[in-house]
Structure 1
Amino acid sequence: MREEDVGTLLQVAEGAGAAGCVAFWAERQLEAFRLYRRVETGEPVAFSAWLRLAELDEEELRADPVVAMAWGHARATAPLRAGEHVGVGRLWVVPSYRGSSPVMEVMLGRVIGDCLRSERLAWSFIEMRHPNDAWVELLGRRFGMRDISERPGLGDDAYAVFVHDWRAVPARVWLNRLPVAGSAGGPGATATLVVLSQAEFADAVRKALRQLPRLDVLAASPLTRTRLVAERAGQSPATALGDLLRQAIDDLREDPRAVKFHRALSVTYLRGAPTQEVAAERLGLPFTTYRRHLAAGIERVCADLWHRELYGASAYRSG
């Protein structure tokens, strides 16, 4: 969309009671907007916006009730982690194109494409004005997005807001769940992933290290339902988690500064020392020195696995 198109957009949005919100965001994120025209005539028939939001100030929350609803839902349910953002999709069409029109399909396809392409997208919210039953069915039951709005009936300001947590159900899992050829669900559907804060994740890693020899106990770890483990296809979650922990410990040997941390972790968790006192004795270290090396090693393992949880296996680097 260009600057000269904003006036037309405001006319379309005025009928939806959203002109003020549109003007506000067009001034701040004009690049987020798209204009749709009829091929035959060049007539503007619809607009969409894909707002990328990592932080919001009070002015932005007051300016747009849909964004405020989305931001409040994200914060209350599973807040953003470092480097993540929220995407809010907005759709406006001229009245004669409401409902199941081709332009609605094109706009929705683009919004979903933005969701699938976005890096570090935590939540997506799609606002739809005057939703009909077909679109509610498509986004809700078939696409697995929840409607969190409280619609005030069918008046001019009626809208729905559909939400999806891409950390809990990543793009590949979401695509596998889509209905295929009229079926009730796509092949290879996978359980919803758990979204842990960094503190919760580190606490689970510490517990899992202590449980490393026990696959039956590891199976109950919340880490088995994270992206970290889900990327290890072909293994049981407990086996995959155990392998990841051992790999993270072994990787410390590659860093000369962390060799002493690796030795403390290895003796304690991989070689079965019955107590920490025995582990310190085997290493020939004073107990306080051993404890310091062990604590530093655990912090490194937590940090390395957290980086992998956030960015994926391809971006994983120890150190």
Structure 2
Amino acid sequence: MLQVAESAGAADCVAFWAGRQVEAFRLYRRVETGEPVGFAAWLRLAELDEEELRADPVVAMAWGHARGTAPLRAGEHVGVGRMWVVPSCRGSSPVMEVMLGRLIGDCLRSERLAWSFIEVRHPDDVWVELVGRRLGMRDISERPRPGDDACAVLVHDWRAVPARAWLSRQPGSGSAGGASATLAVLSQAEFADAVRKALRQLPRLDVLAASPLTRTRVVAERAGQSPATALGDLLRQAIDDLRADPRAVKFHRALSVTFLRGAPTQEVAAERLGLPFTTYRRHLAAGVERVCADLWHREVYGASAYRSG
């Protein structure tokens, strides 16, 4: 199909990925005749080597944008959707709509998807603008590009606007969630640093309100509360959950005395626990690390996957 309808470079690119992710490809045919009219690929990429970056300029563009804007976290991946159609069906055509709908479905079904990039070849500028506005996706391509190489690349960060929030923003959703805030996408180090700071400010709702954690997934999942209140409750719950693990009871006690019972100094907290100061400090540090790790697990995997221990 590509040797007839597209450039040799496009055919080489498809042959390259078909050799690596053949399961990513779907063929589309006319219902009446069975004639092939186009095909699409949904590439799942967690790591890329130099050969892959050289073989596909669109994938290289997507990978560079993701790494430069908000890099992947452990276990996450990038999805790149590619669409090729015969010349008579280019632009805003029924086959393009069907292919785009299927690629959006792949986005919504993919677990641990960080970024999606959907390439549209030979785009109609009006159609791309309408689709981009409808889907809440930006075109990051540098257009116009010459002839057979013309394309648009629509991008979305699913960590900043997860599937549920994205769906609520779609026309006709009937949801009041269309104005929901975009979530913060923190690295693990940034997240842990924010947790440590928030623990020290637990009694201060006004200070907690300025924490970047108030814009994270783990707080947004606690509906019906102000972000600062939700964050405070989440931290208290994370401390309390440590009591269920016999190995972490001593960590719970150190955290509770320090952050929940208002010990004026760490020396006083150690005295109340009847511990040498160095032992107390060791328990406190280990407890803070456990809270950071438990909340990070919930941030990345969702509330249903949250388990302390």
Scaled by the length of structure 2, the TM-score of the pair is: 0.97
1:176 to 143, 168, 174: 168
Report the Cα offset of residue 151 of structure 1: 1.6
- SS of residue paired to 2:176: coil
| Equivalent in the alignment of 1:107 | 99
Aligned equivalent of 1:235 = 225
1:254 matched to which residue of 2? 244
CA contact (8 A) 1:127 1:162 kept: yes
- Take 2:211 and 2:51, find their aligned partners in 1: how far apart are those partners? 41
Structure 2 letter corresponding to 1:110? R
Shift of 1:16: 7.8
The match for 2:289 is 299
Matches within 5 A, 1:90-169: 90-153=82-145, 155-169=147-161
| Cα distance between partner residues in 1 of 2:143 and 2:18 | 25
Instruction: Check conservation: 1:12, 1:93, Cα contact below 8 A.
Output: no
Q: For 1:133-167, what per-residue CA distance to the aligned partner results, in whole angstroms no more than 9, with x for missing partners?
A: 33212332221111111023462211011100000
Aligned-partner SS, 1:156: helix
Residue among 159, 180, 187 paired with 2:176: 187
Q: Measure the CA separation in 1 of the matches of 2:176 and 2:170.
A: 8
The one-character-per-residue Cα deviations of 1:254-299 (angstroms, maximum 9, x if unpaired) are 0000000000000000000011000000000000000000000000
Deviation at 1:180?
A: 2.4
Alignment correspondent of 1:81: 73
Root mean square deviation, CA, Å: 1.4
- Is residue 2:23 matched to residue 1:23? no
Q: Name the % identity.
A: 89
Quick one: distance in 1 between partners of 2:219 and 2:17?
Answer: 39
Q: 1:276 aligns with which of 252, 266, 287?
A: 266
Extract unaligned runs of 5+ from structure 1.
1-7
Match of 2:52 in 1: 60
Separation (CA, whole Å) in 2 of partners of 1:111 and 1:318: 36
**In the alignment, is the contact (CA less than 8 A) between 2:192 and 2:292 conserved in 1?**
yes
CA distance in 2 between partners of 1:211 and 1:12 (Å): 65
- Greater displacement, 148-157 / 305-314: 148-157
**Paired letter, 1:210:** R
Instruction: Give, in angstroms, the shift of residue 186 of structure 1.
Output: 6.2
- Residues 207-232 of structure 1: CA deviation (Å, up to 9, x unaligned): 00000001111000000000010111
Contact 1:130 1:154 in 2 (8 A): no
From the superposition, tell whether residues 16 and 171 of structure 1 become closer, same or farther in structure 2 (CA, over 3 Å): farther
In structure 1, give the amino acid aligned to 2:204.
Answer: R
When normalised by structure 1's length, the TM-score is 0.94
Alignment partner for residue 263 of structure 1, among 253, 259, 262? 253
* C-alpha contact (below 8 Å) 2:184/2:216 kept by paired residues: yes
Partner of 2:275: 285
Letter in 2 for 1:279: A
Counterpart residue identity of residue 197, structure 1: S
In structure 1, the partner of 2:63 is 71
Does structure 1 conserve the Cα–Cα contact (< 8 Å) formed by 2:5 and 2:87?
Answer: no
Distance 1:16 1:149, change over 3 A: farther
Number of aligned residues: 308
Match of 1:213 among 203, 225, 229: 203
Deviation (angstroms), 1:99: 2.0
Indicate conservation of the 8 Å contact 2:44/2:77, yes or no: yes
> Contact between 1:48 and 1:92, CA under 8 Å: does it hold in 2?
yes
Pair 1:186–1:137, CA change in 2 (3 A): farther
CA contact (8 A) 1:265 1:297 kept: yes
